[in-house]
Structure 1
Amino acid sequence: MSLQHSQFTVSIAPEPLPSARTPVSIFLAGSIEMGKAVDWQAEVTKGLTHLPVTIFNPRRSDWDGNWKQDIAEPQFKEQVDWEMDRLESSDVIALYLQPTTMSPISLLELGMHAAGGKVVVCCPEGFWRRGNVQIVCHRYGLELVKDIPTLVKRLEARLHQAMENKANIP
């Protein structure tokens, strides 16, 4: 279900693209772990509601853990395609790696999008592969923060920058 007010929109998987899009968009990548991770997406969304942005949130309340992890499973394929399409089209990607999770798909997404420069990573102490994440961020010049409040501040700055860049395109 989409949440929409003034120029702020949240699109939750597997919804189609909102008809009224904002100038910039952000994808909330990161720990979900089939519902085992905290709902950090809600906290980030709350911190960005004052901005004219479209937030793409892959966390869905109707996820069924019985879906076969296979391209032939229609609901699974729909979810993965939705995520991949929104990751590619978003102006900014927020990536949160919760220390109590392994988050293999989030690590895959980091690898897929690190070179694009649009990822802001939050990887607190205690994440099992934090060293690898630090090295990827260092190598590709990605911002790496330690907590969600700092992530929200950095995302706000990046979204403002994206808005300015789009406003300056003739």
Structure 2
Amino acid sequence: MIQIVQAPNPYDATRLKTIFMAGSIEMGKAVLWQEELIAQIKNVFGDQDLFILNPRRDDWNSSWVQEKENAPFHEQVSWELEGLENADCIVYFLQAGTISPITLLELGLYARSNKIMVLCEKGFHRKGNVDIVCERYGIPQYETLSEVVLALEKLLA
């Protein structure tokens, strides 16, 4: 069964194949791409056992001070770092019209991990940088979420 785990909820990634959804959120500026990706994964993977880690937090409060001393913020960042470390695959989605600095940071952290795939839309403000990093480290890039799901199907088979 596919289990969706949103930040900051606990999970045991040692039991199931795990996909982490890293990408543009920008306090609601980005499209709800996670929902579309989850729907497509459910359609393709059916009843297979998977964890999908979604950092988009329903109770996020944009007034939280983004400093390590702020407990809810610290919890969020720690959950994301743990999820990235434990994931079998990290899907990066960089949406045109967003700047997504944390996603770029995370892409840099995992560029050499051999467990990432990237969808970087034309018009993303640092697409050239992303393209060069992907080329240098052999990171596959995709044009659509449907292509990402097909690649996931092969990767997690």
| Fold similarity call, TM over 0.5 | yes
Structure 2's unaligned 5+ residue stretches are: none
- Size of the aligned set, in residue pairs, is 153
SS at match of 2:104: helix
Matched, 1:80 2:77: yes
SS at match of 1:145: coil
Structure 2 residue corresponding to 1:41, chosen from 28, 34, 40: 34
Deviation per residue, 1:103-148 (Å, 9 max, x gap)? 0000000000010010100012111111110111111111111222
State the AA in 1 paired with 2:141.
L
Give the match for residue 10 of structure 1. 4
Moved over 4 A (4+): none
Structure 1's unaligned 5+ residue stretches are: 1-6, 161-170
Give the match for residue 96 of structure 1. 93
Matched, 1:32 2:29: no
TM-superposed CA distance for 1:22, in Å, is 4.8
Q: TM-score, normalised by structure 1?
A: 0.86
Moved more, 49-58 or 114-123: 49-58
Structure 2 residue corresponding to 1:105, chosen from 99, 102, 106: 102
Highest relative contact order (Cα 8 Å, sep 6+), 1 or 2? 2
Mapping of residues 140-155 of structure 1, within 5 Å: 140-155=137-152
Q: Percent identity?
A: 45
8 Å CA contact 1:21, 1:54 repeated in 2? no
8 Å CA contact 1:9, 1:21 repeated in 2? no
